[in-house]
Each structure stands twice: as C-alpha cells, then as structure tokens.
Structure 1
Amino acid sequence: MSTSVVMGVDVGSTETKALVLDRAGHRLAIDRRRTPWRRNRDGGADIEADVLTDSVLSAIVNALRQAEATVDAATVEGIAFTGMAESGVLLGGDGRPAAPVIAWFDPRGGEELAAWPVELADEFSGRTGLPLSPLCSAAKLLWLTGQGHDLSTASHWLSVPEYLAHFLGAPPAAEPSLLSRTGLLDQATGKPWTELLEALGAPAGLLPESADAGKPLGTVRADRAPDALRGAVVTVAGHDHPVASVGAHAADDGHLFDSCGTSEALMRVISEPLADDQRRRLTEAGLAQGMHLLPNRWILLGGTRGGLMLGRTLRMLGLDHAEGRARLDADLAGSAQRPAHPPLRVHGAHAAATDIVLALASDDISPADVWDAALRHAMTESEAVIAAMEREVPAASSVTAAGGWTRMSSFRNAKATSLPATRFADVDQPSAFGAAVIAEWATRGRTGELAGLAAEFTHPDHHPSLTSAPTQKQELPA
C-alpha cells in the first residue's frame, strides 16, 4: 500500500534540499546536494537550466527512494518549491530557456548599471526597496541585453522556484515574495515597474500573472517527472527566507528571524509597507524591503557574511569537521570567563567584506581564542544590521534563530549573549520544511491557517533526527 506524502524543495545558493513528509507531518527523508554552479574567475557563477533541473529532479528521486525504505511505497500528493529569488530563467518566445541561470551573487551587470539613466538609478531603491547593485534580477537582465539577448521577444522571466514549478507542469506565475527581490516590482503599488521594463526593452508581460504562495497551480505532467510525482499538486512556496520563517514559527508581525547559514540573513517582519524615503535610507545601509509570502506582511532583510567567515575560520584552524567543532565547543564551555578585550581581533563578517583579517596582539593565542574572537565579530556585525532596522521600525518583539550554525553550542551561547531573548528553532532545514508545509496546504486548497498547520507539523513527536549526509562533502555546517 502506498503512503501519501508531500515534498518541499529548497534550491539554495549552496545546496538543494528535497524533504519528504507524510500527511501527518512526520519527516521521512531528505536529500541534500551541492547546487552545481559553473564557476568563473571573476567570482561569478551560472548554470544551464537543464543542468539545474536535472540536479533538482535527482534530489527529489533520491529523497523518495530514502522514504520508500521506510514506508515501502510513496505517492507524492503535493510539491512546493522555494529558494533563490534573484536568479532566474529567461524564457524565449518558444517558452524554452534562452540564457543560463546567473547566480544572484554573480557580479555581472555592475558595469551596465553604472551606465543607467540617472532618473532610473535615482528612483531605483525607493521604488524597489533594493540597493542598486548587481545582485537583483534587473541587473542580470541588463547584462543579458548587452550580450545580444532581445528581451522584446522573450515570453517570461521566472525565478528559479517559479521555473521549476513551471517545468513540472504549472503555468508561468510570479509569487510576490520572489517578485519583490527582482528589482522589477514597484513596492508602493505591488505591480511591475513599467518604466523599468520599458528601459530594458522588455514586454509588459515579461513578469507573469501574480499567484500567492501555496496556490495550487496545476499538477505534475507525466512526461516530466518520475512516476511517484505524476499528478501531484505543484505550487510555489516563495522566497527561502520568508518560507523558513513560516517553518520556524517566526512569521508574526514584530518577529526577527535570524537565519544562521553560510550567509547570515536577518529578516524583520512588519505589517505595513514602508515609504519610499524609508526604503531609500535602508538600502543606503545595505538593507532591503520585500514582501512576505503571508498576506499583509512585509520584510526588512539584511545580512552579514558571518557564516562564511566562521566557516573559513574553521578551515584555517584545521577544525572544519565534526570533531573539531565539538572540541571548540568544549574548550569555550569549559574555560573561565573570557576577557572582554581578547588579544586578537577578527574581521571579515561585514556584508561587503571579501577577506578575513586577524590582528594578533600576543603570541599566546589558542584556536579557542581565535574562534571566540570570530564569534564576537559575527555577533557585532549582526547587531549592526539590527540597529539599522531599528532606525526605521520599532525593536523586534521576539527573536528566533535557525540554521546550521545554531547546531554549535558555542555559537548558540554567543547568539544568546548578543540577543538574550533568542529562541532557537528545533526545525531542521526550515526552508525545505516550510515548503513542504505549504505543499500540504496547497493540497488542502489553502484552507485553514498556514501557521497553524506548521505548528501541527512540528509537534515534538514529529521530528526524528534527519542526519543523512549530502551527496558531496560539506565544507560548512550550514
């Protein structure tokens, strides 16, 4: 007898995660694998759409195989996609991918942005809530036009989660939280920024009709998926950070969600959109405003390179493995009160940092001293992001931290010292989990409260440990 399941798929900049839940919320399996970027010497990366699709489908198939080792047979009733918002797929007039998927962190588009008309550049941050930088989808599209791609003949631009849902059989659809990260949305109206599309030479319909997160968009086509997926309801969950906040019960107005992964993302949930001048001030401080996947919710989003800096520090110390992390946790837990001004400084967690710098004031420095200094610096940078938010909105009423680094007790202790009211989520892989909850919600026709369903699915009896190793060696505990 086949067991009905739902799946949440998170396509991130480092990894793709495919998570399987039964209809009561019990976690059956997870597959994790590296996102197979094609790297270049300038720090950028891209990938052909079919290569990305093959990788995601492989993760889905492997997760289902793992699940079937437990339940004999599994039939997927619903599947939802979350992940990167800024990276997308340009569809040509024939509906097929017309260009590679460019990574959100790829610097391409920077030179083209510098040559933009002054009036567009001046209005960009106030209109879109995003810094004028190569990170947004608009910059990727601008670069593509410079490479000879004629946007006037394109049919659609879809973010990666939207494209994957479309590939499996859903019509093209723009989910609001993903759309708000493109740089193509006017935050004040909630509609595409017409003047910007015209400046790109793109048709008015480049962005498809909007569809809220969890809306059933159709069913998986038989010719594009393994047997277990065929006929499943397919939907888009939304941008990975808001989706994770749903999975971690951190989506209420006033909540600060701290996603402590390879990059640390700090997301403040608000119930009113900001004015253009507020958005402009926030972008000057390196923060962004976007839309949450929940109705009448918006987000302020800032970040640091704290997770990346911590991972590099572990590698420098030769402790980037489970035993090494456990040793550092034990050293810091067993030491006496550490000095307020240790004999070294670590820098490199700022969002714009590219290097890690150690300033040593003594020869008598242990690996635990270096790790303690790195943790302190990571906390200082996240505190600065929060302070920038609080210049525009009241302080958060509650704080939840989740993500790979929270598995280390030394990190948790540092975070609790920095933000004493922090609650640590007990949800493993909250983005994939949130997407799976949204998949279940879609199969129910979005009846009932999404937050209530997430709480039901994270009953203490419902989360056995998922420790399956990724298909390739992990460099970071994220």
Structure 2
Amino acid sequence: MYLGLDLGTSGVKALLIDPDQRVVASATGDLDVSRPRPGWSEQAPADWIAATETAIGKLQRSHGRELAAVRGIGLSGQMHGATVLGEDDRPLRPCILWNDTRSHEQAAQLDADPRFRRITGNIVFPGFTAPKIAWMRDNEPDLFARLRKVLLPKDYLRLWLSGGHFSEMSDAAGTSWLDVENRSWSGDLLAATSLSEENMPALVEGTQPAGALRPDLARQWGMAEGVVIAGGAGDNAASACGMGAVRPGQAFVSLGTSGVLFAANDSYLPNPESAVHTFCHALPGAWHQMGVILSATDSLNWLSGVTGRSAGELTAELGDDLKAPGSVTFLPYLSGERTPHNDAAIRGAYAGLGHESDRTSLTRAVLEGVAFALRDNLEALKAAGTRLERVTAIGGGSRSRYWQKAIATALGIAVDIPADGDFGAAFGAARLGLIAAEGADPLSVCTAPATAATVKPDTALAGAFEEAYQRYRALYPAIRGTM
C-alpha cells in the first residue's frame, strides 16, 4: 500500500492506494484560514499536524490493516507558504500563505532586481516565499533575527513525520530562490533576502526518497518502521502526476480554491513577461508552465455566502444548457490576481447590473468571469510558447457541467472529463510514494485516467462568448486605478 498526504488550504487529505493504483480509502482533517488584516492569510503549522493526525486516525480506524501495509508515503501541499523555524525547529509565527498579499512592496523590489527573473524564469509575485521573508525582515526584525530554517508547508509536515529538512524541485520553484533551469538553490537570490543555503532544506527530486517515518509515529499508527517518504510535489505538480500530465503537451485545468491552467514540458521555457509560472515538474528532467488565478471556486463560495445558497444550489439553478453571456460581467479578483496582471491590490467587481439582474444572472457572471480569467491564462501560455488543443478538468468546480461548457467555449478548446475516480493531488502524492519506495519508472506509474466524456466548445455561442470576453478584458484597466 501507498499513502498520499495532501496539505491543502481547507484541509489535509490522506489517501491509500494499492499496488495496482486503485484507491482503497481516503479521509480528511479540516483546516481554517486566519485573516487578521485585509490581504493577510495565515495558518498555524500545529493545525496542519492536528489535521493530519485526524485524517490518518480515520484511516487507522476504518482501514487499519491496509495502513499497516504502507511502504511509501508521498507528500503534496499548498505552495509558497513561509513556514519560519527557530533554533529548535519550532515555528516563530503563523505561516504566511500563498494567497497573502502583504508583501507586494517587497515583491516589487525583488522583481526590480534583474537576477530574479533571469535565474528563476518567473516574476516575483507577492504570494511567493521570498518576498514574505523580506516583509518579515522589514516588519518583524526581532523574529527574523531568530530565523534558522524556512520550510514550505508540506515540508514542515515532512519534518514532523521524519525529522528531516527536505524539499523538492516543484515546490521550491515557487519560492523565488530556485535556479529553475539547473534545479538548485541560488546563493545570490537567497542573499538578496539576507539568507543563505544553510537556511534552506536539502533538495531532492519528487520521485526520490526524502526521509523515513519516525518510529514513534509508526507505532502510533500501526505501521512498519522505516516507511519511505518521497520528495513529493507542490499541489499542482502533484495533481499533474495524478492526472498523468507529465509528458509534453499534456494539460489540465483545475477549479479549486484557486484556478490553474497547467501544461507539462520536457524543457525549460521561461517567459516571465507573460506572468506565466515556469516551474520544475515533480519528475526529473521535466518542467511545466501554468497560469494561476487566485479565486476560482472561492468566487462561487463568496457568492454562496452572500446569497445563503450553497454553491451546488447556485449552479443547479442554471441547468446544464449553456446560455450566451448576459449583461453582467464579474471580475474574480477577490484576493488580487496573478496571471496575467500580477496585481495584489486589484479587487473583484460586478459590472452591468440592472433591475433585471437576479441570482442566476449573478451566478452565471461568476462562472463566466472565472472562465474568462482562465482564457487570460491561455493567452499568456500562448505568449510563452505553449499551445493547447485540449485540457482535462479537475477540482471541485469541474463537477458543474455548466461551468465545463462555459470554460470550453471561452477557451475554444475541448475539455476532457475523467472517468469516476480520485485523480487529484493526494493521488499524485501516493503515486510519488510508490515510485520512491519501489524504484518504479515514473512515466509508467503516472498514466492518464480514462476519459468519460469530452465537452466541446459551443460553436453557436462562440461569438457571444468572444464579445463578452472583450468586455471582461476592458474592465481591468478601467478599475485598476480605483482600488
């Protein structure tokens, strides 16, 4: 058996697979996000441990025999979080999360240093790790003086599980400290934030072993001692391993808290001016490009909170038949935006509201706004040299057939729906655990699931969606200076 642990923003998921990669069981432990100030987003690392213990405890009670047979563990996690440890490996403060924008001034300062884009192949976004540490240096100097290690969220879990300081290439690529082409820490970039390689974890590939389960935890969970822990992956690269998006041209669109348009590459193809992320993949000798929007299902969840209707109820009111966009346009910039704008200050907006605007028109506008934001990502990927003919849909939002049709029509490409199953980040992490434990061939393990259905663009509505997309594009510059 093999165990995948995915540390997300809203919870930790533990998933067991057997040697044939069939999902045996899964369980979750919930997490909350603290937002002490506007634009801030934090979590206590102790809560990650508690949520992991909850999830594994559920598996132990329901599938204790299978858990005892685990030979490899893979880790996946939310990217970019700054988990700052002191001399005793204790966190000095809550982790500053990926969707925290407090460090936008420090990000701009670092991005103005041409070494960052040249070495990392990426813009220094406020959500990345390096500017958060620069913010801490500028605003919390006493805590910064006690800093000994900086870990990414899943790698803090690894420290607890194994006692070792390790990270891997796909997650490290989102820090703004990694030489992404050469897959190593950059001493120059670390020095720009008053750090050195001594403050960083050792680097491995996602498919390589990176520690072993501590004996006390093995006894607690009824597992064998020495269970291998794989390097693992950042959440998007892990999802790609779960979806089999590991070869050039394979791509997926993820509708989770954030939205991602992800394309695998077999070479390093940076184009930071497009605001596309160019990162290492979890597999050796592989890279990927992705566009990221910060509020995908988060936009629908926001509307759910406002209307008092669940996200499922809101989308159900639309039915399955796609309609032409109405007069209402929604900009999904609730937490600022990454691709293509790199704007931490911008906020969301409705435009075109009228007396006739009812709840369903607001819901449609949200779904269309997210689809148009993904179209922005598609255009950015094209500018970075990647052209896509089809994508596979994953994430909670992909369960809405209406949303799938809106995305296919807005992007003008086919959207494949995988057969029933769990192919997300936890599954990808479990696959990486299998590879590390057994020395298996990554490409043989990370295969794509069967396609249950394909949603094609609605050609009859293509013109209406293009017109609505151009209205959407015109709104950002119109409101940018008003925030």
Q: Does 1:162 align with 2:155?
A: yes
| 1:90 to partner: Cα distance | 2.6
Task: Return 5+ residue gaps in structure 1 as ranges.
Answer: 461-478
- The Cα offsets for residues 198-247 of structure 1, whole Å up to 9 and x where unpaired, read as 23332332223321113122321122452334522222311110110111
Match of 2:422 among 407, 424, 428: 428
- Matching residue within 230, 233, 245 for 2:240: 245
In the other structure, the counterpart of 2:113 is 121
Q: Which moved more, 1:249-258 or 1:311-320?
A: 311-320
Given candidates 72, 84, 91, the residue that maps to 2:78 is 84
The one-letter amino acid paired with 2:116 is F
Partner of 1:320: 310
Alignment of 1:34-433 (within 5 A): 34-68=30-64, 74-113=68-107, 116=109, 121-146=113-138, 147-149=140-142, 154-169=147-162, 171-224=164-217, 226-231=220-225, 232-274=227-269, 278-279=271-272, 281-283=273-275, 287-304=276-293, 305-320=295-310, 322-329=312-319, 332-333=320-321, 338=323, 340=324, 342-348=326-332, 351=337, 352=343, 353-361=346-354, 363-418=355-410, 419-426=412-419, 427-428=421-422, 430-433=424-427
Q: Secondary structure at the match of 1:374?
A: helix
Partner of 1:471 in structure 2? none
Structure-2 change in CA distance of 1:186 and 1:108 (3 Å)? same
The verdict on how the C-alpha distance between 1:55 and 1:413 changes in structure 2, with shifts beyond 3 A counting, is same
> Following TM superposition, by how much is the alpha carbon of 1:299 offset from its aligned partner in structure 2, in angstroms?
1.7
Inter-partner Cα distance in structure 1 for 2:46 and 2:325: 52
Q: What code does the residue aligned with 2:256 have?
A: G
Pairwise CA distance, 1:95: 3.8
Distance between the aligned counterparts of 1:38 and 1:341, measured in 2? 35
The alpha-carbon distance between structure 1 residues 13 and 73, as it changes in their structure 2 partners (threshold 3 A), is closer
Do 2:84 and 2:92's aligned partners in 1 also have CA atoms closer than 8 Å? yes
Mind listing any 5+ residue stretches in structure 2 that lack a counterpart?
338-342, 452-483
Please tell me the residue identity of whatever aligns with 2:199.
Answer: L
Distance 1:317 1:359, change over 3 A: farther
Deviation of the 1:390 alpha carbon:
0.4
Deviation at 1:113, TM superposition (A): 4.4
Alignment identity in percent? Answer: 23
Secondary structure of the corresponding residue to residue 218 of structure 1: strand
Q: 3-state DSSP class of the match of 1:202?
A: coil
1:276-302 CA-to-partner distances (Å, cap 9, x unmatched) read xx32x123xxx2211111222212221
For this pair of structures, how many residues does the alignment match?
436
Report the Cα distance in structure 1 between the residues aligned to 2:331 and 2:79, rounded to whole angstroms: 29
Query: Over the residues paired in the alignment, what is the CA RMSD in angstroms?
Result: 2.8
- Normalising by structure 1, we get a TM-score of 0.82
Q: What is the DSSP-based 3-state SS (H/G/I as helix, E as strand, rest coil) of the residue aligned with 1:319?
A: coil
**Residue-by-residue CA offset, 1:307-366 (whole Å, 9 max, x unaligned):** 22233334444431545543433xx43xxx73x4524333335835523414224x3445
1:440 correspondence with 2:434: yes
Per the alignment, do residues 288 and 341 of structure 1 end up closer, same or farther by CA in structure 2, a change over 3 Å counting? closer
Counterpart for residue 459 of structure 2:
none
Distance 1:274 1:72 in 2: 42
CA distance in 2, matches of 1:101, 1:376: 33
Residues 108 and 216 (structure 1), Cα distance of their counterparts in 2 relative to 1, 3 Å cut: same
Q: Could you report, residue by residue, the CA deviation over 1:232-274 in whole angstroms, capped at 9, with x for unpaired residues?
A: 2222311110110111122221222211112111112222213
